[in-house]
């Protein structure tokens, strides 16, 4: 009871939200720089080949990016599954399960470089579109990432279809992070003239898809994360049981609705806490004037009625 | 003696029973699984396999394959 009274602070949500968003921005920027610190690679057109590449980074960060110090877990998973010498990529399973278990989609909201890239694009002052208001279409599109996770990442490569599937399908045909941070910089640097000779319909398709996602990111909040990203889909599934949990104390709620208004993923925060769609950006928590929404790292969920 | 009906949580729509315990067991189980997988991966030298894949420009990854 005492703690509850203590948590009732005067309404200063918007100010706290501004501070929170600034901190989140610099956190995302710092992590992007940290995992892509081989800046000279962009000018030389060469990728980093040191030992750090043995380690998977938690976000979507193409290992063909000239700046990347670590490896993309999704790319590593697909490459190792298709490798006849490996078959069961325990190492990547351990990473994905571990990160998912501890953070859930906190990685999407606070660390992922490609998520940050989309957020930067969303800051461009253009009229914004919220697809979820149209209902059915949004619900349908949100399932696409689970379909991609199931088929392109799990079922096709894992089952005995290795004769048919010889390349990482998601990376090859879908992933715009690879095009933005790998394909384009390497081609622009022009260090390897052989790369230009290999341009074909796959590259044209991926460039078109990437441009579409870039344009959509200017008017829709993180469209790739909401509808396409299989890594986000995996972490989203982990939201339900991760150690980081959002909590809601209804007795402290003044029903101002600020949390739901501020949610960029358009989630009914109070009804669907720790939703698979929640990227855990923490805006709802920061804007809450009474701290009815809070979080903990113990993996316990408090849903007091 | 009939059992006390389980209360439905108004917020989550779930049954308020021993859900926290089940979640904790799941967390411990998955944590152990993650650690085991990671250790197995290192024992089987899969970290160097990741490196092997990642030190060359993955042409497929950038749409050139």
Split into its structural domains, chain A has a count of 2
Q: Nearest to residue B26, comparing CAs of A271, A301, A148, A247?
A: A301
**Distance in Å, alpha carbon of A22 to nearest chain B alpha carbon:** 31
**Distance in Å, alpha carbon of A207 to nearest chain B alpha carbon:** 8
Taking CA atoms, A231 is separated from A120, A225, A243, A279, B40, in Å, by 20, 9, 18, 12, 22
Contact A92 B39 (CB under 8 A): no
The per-residue pLDDT for A15 is: 84
Give me the residues of A, 34-63, that contact B with CB < 8 A: 47, 49, 51, 53-56, 62-63
The per-residue pLDDT for B14 is: 47
Give me the residues of B, 1-60, that contact A with CB < 8 A: 9-12, 20, 23-24, 26-27, 30-31, 33-42, 44, 46-51, 53-60
Chain A residue with Cα closest to B53: A79
d(CA A273, CA B35): 28
What six digits make up the tokens of A154?
């799990």
Contact A273 B61 (CB under 8 A): no
| CATH number reported for the structural domain that contains residue A264 in this entry | 3.30.70.20
The per-residue pLDDT for A138 is: 86
Q: Tell me if A79 sits within 8 A of A168, measured CB to CB.
A: yes
Q: Tell me if A274 sits within 8 A of A12, measured CB to CB.
A: no
Residue A69 belongs to a domain: yes
Low-confidence ranges of chain A (pLDDT < 50): 1-11, 304-305
What are A214-271's pLDDT values in tens digits?
Answer: 999 999 999 999 999 999 999 999 999 999 999 999 999 999 999 999 999 989 899 8
Same domain flag for A179 and A279 = no
Same domain flag for A152 and A257 = no
Same domain flag for A178 and A110 = yes
Identify the domain containing residue A292 by its residue range: 2-11+239-296
Last residue of a domain, one of A230, A247, A268: A230
- In sequence order, what are the residues at sequence separation of 6 or more whose Cβ sits closer than 8 angstroms to the Cβ of residue A212? none
d(CA B61, CA B51): 15
Query: Is ipTM > 0.85 here?
Result: no
- In sequence order, what are the residues at sequence separation of 6 or more whose Cβ sits closer than 8 angstroms to the Cβ of residue A88? none
Same domain flag for A226 and A89 = yes
Residue A45 belongs to a domain: yes
Same domain flag for A70 and A189 = yes
Average pLDDT over residues B7-28: 67
């Amino acid at each position: 009871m005492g703690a509850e009274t203590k948590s009732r602070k005067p309404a200063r949500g918007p100010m706290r939200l501004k501070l929170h968003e600034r901190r989140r921005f610099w956190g995302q920027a710092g992590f992007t720089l940290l995992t892509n610190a081989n800046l000279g690679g962009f000018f030389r057109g060469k990728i980093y080949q040191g030992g750090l590449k043995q380690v998977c980074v938690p976000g979507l960060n193409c290992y063909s990016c000239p700046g990347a110090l670590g490896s993309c877990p999704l790319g590593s998973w697909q490459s190792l599954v298709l490798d006849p010498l490996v078959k069961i990529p325990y190492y990547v399973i351990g990473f994905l399960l571990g990160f998912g278990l501890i953070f859930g989609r906190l990685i999407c909201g606070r660390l992922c470089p490609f998520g940050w890239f989309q957020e930067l694009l969303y800051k461009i002052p253009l009229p914004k579109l919220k697809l979820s208001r149209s209902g059915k279409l949004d619900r349908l599109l949100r399932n696409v990432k689970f379909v991609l996770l199931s088929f392109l990442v799990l079922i096709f490569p894992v089952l005995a279809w290795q004769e048919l599937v010889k390349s990482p399908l998601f990376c090859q045909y879908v992933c715009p992070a690879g095009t933005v941070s790998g394909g384009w910089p390497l081609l622009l640097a022009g260090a390897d003239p052989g790369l230009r000779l290999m341009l074909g319909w796959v590259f044209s398709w991926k460039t078109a898809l990437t441009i579409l996602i870039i344009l959509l990111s200017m008017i829709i909040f993180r469209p790739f994360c909401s509808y396409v990203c299989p890594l986000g889909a995996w972490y989203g599934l982990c939201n339900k049981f991760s150690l980081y949990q959002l909590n809601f104390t209804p007795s402290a709620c003044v029903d101002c609705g600020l949390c739901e208004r501020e949610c960029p993923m358009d989630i009914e925060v109070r009804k669907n806490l720790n939703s698979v769609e929640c990227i855990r950006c923490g805006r709802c928590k920061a804007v809450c004037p009474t701290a009815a929404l809070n979080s903990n790292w113990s993996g316990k969920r408090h849903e007091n009625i | 003696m009939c059992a006390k009906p389980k209360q439905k949580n108004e917020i989550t729509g779930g049954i308020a029973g021993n859900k926290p315990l089940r979640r904790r067991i799941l967390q411990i189980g998955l944590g152990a699984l993650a650690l085991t997988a990671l250790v197995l991966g290192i024992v089987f030298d899969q970290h160097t396999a990741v490196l092997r894949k990642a030190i060359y420009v993955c042409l497929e990854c950038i749409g050139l394959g």
